[in-house]
Amino acid sequence: CNEVLAIIPVKMLIPTFYVFTLIFTLANALLGFSNPFKADGFLGFLNPVNKGKTEWNSVSVKYSIIGGFYKIPMTTDKIKGEYVYLKNHEEFKDVKLYCYPTDPSVCIMYDKYGRICGMRVAYMKEDIATRAKGNLSYKYDKIPIFKEGSAFGIPFYYIDVIFINPDLLMKGGPASRTEAVGDGAYLQLDGQTWVEMPREESKATALGFTKQACFPGMGLHYFPNMTKDLDCHNFIPVFLLYNHGKLIGMGLIPFGSFKSKGNREWFEDPPKFIINTIVPHAPTCLADWVGKYGTISFHIYFTKANAITPSCIL
């Protein structure tokens, strides 16, 4: 098997995977299964994922068929020179941010005990309108979830995701944890109030998230206020990822362009047909803007096993 894969060009593997995914999804629908690997599906016996409690035990980011899933250090003593200290957080004074040298694209937050407690994802002002040739209709400064900052002399917009209750983080973080990652995923969707993302899929709609598609290797997607009537000027670039009803990860996907600022390419730019597959209940402007402006997609996974095998594959 390894010998066969070795002679297949990498550029052929990626489109082949996507074509297989679409054929597989169509076959599921024709056979009447929304997901054949679930317990009641015709391939349910192949599903090895624990359907009980989903423990958040690891943080990995990005999504890519080849070269993806970067593992993030869970504690500061595991950094080993890979990241550099940037500064303390503006709101949580005992929280420290560490980034790749000269690259503010993704910075990891650690509490006063040196344990991971969040991430800052940044979008460089000099890059976001590149594909739009300077005429980007999506205005970051009009979307409340974005804040403005700078690091290494580079101005940017950014979104913070924290993994610890903000009241506890104001005190530096909890002295002990039941899960290595934290107690939840919190965002300031309105730019002011920290809101916990639902760990149970059944509670996602109550927060305004709408169910979209399950994509192999990613998970079942939920987007905020995503309907065919959405005005893309108001698009909140957040999605949640569920597996067997449990939150296993999340992501950010604003419109725009990016350039690698260091030794790691953090972001993804999926093509229009993948967006149409993942977000079937979307306005036409979503795919149109993806083609016109590009996207800056970023995945965060909180579990080891589920990050690789969500319920829509094995």
What pLDDT is attached to residue 218? Answer: 86
What pLDDT is attached to residue 311? Answer: 61
Q: Per-10-residue mean pLDDT for the chain, 314 residues long?
A: 41 46 45 40 38 81 72 94 96 98 97 98 98 97 98 98 98 96 98 98 98 90 98 98 95 96 88 94 97 97 64 59
CB burial of residue 125 (10 Å; 0-12, 13-18, 19+): middle
Query: 130: closest CA among 250, 296, 7?
Result: 296
Q: Domain ranges for the chain, please list them.
A: 1-32, 33-308
As a dihedral over the C-alpha atoms of residue 38, residue 39, residue 40, residue 41, rounded to 10 degrees, the angle is: 40
What pLDDT is attached to residue 67? Answer: 53
What pLDDT is attached to residue 12? Answer: 44
Strands 154-162, 147-151: pairing is antiparallel
CB burial of residue 27 (10 Å; 0-12, 13-18, 19+): exposed
- Do residues 265 and 312 make contact, with C-beta atoms less than 8 angstroms apart? no
CA dist 159 and 236 (Å) reads 11
The two tokens of residue 89 are 């957080």
What pLDDT is attached to residue 228? Answer: 97
CB burial of residue 305 (10 Å; 0-12, 13-18, 19+): middle
State the Rg of the chain over Cα: 19
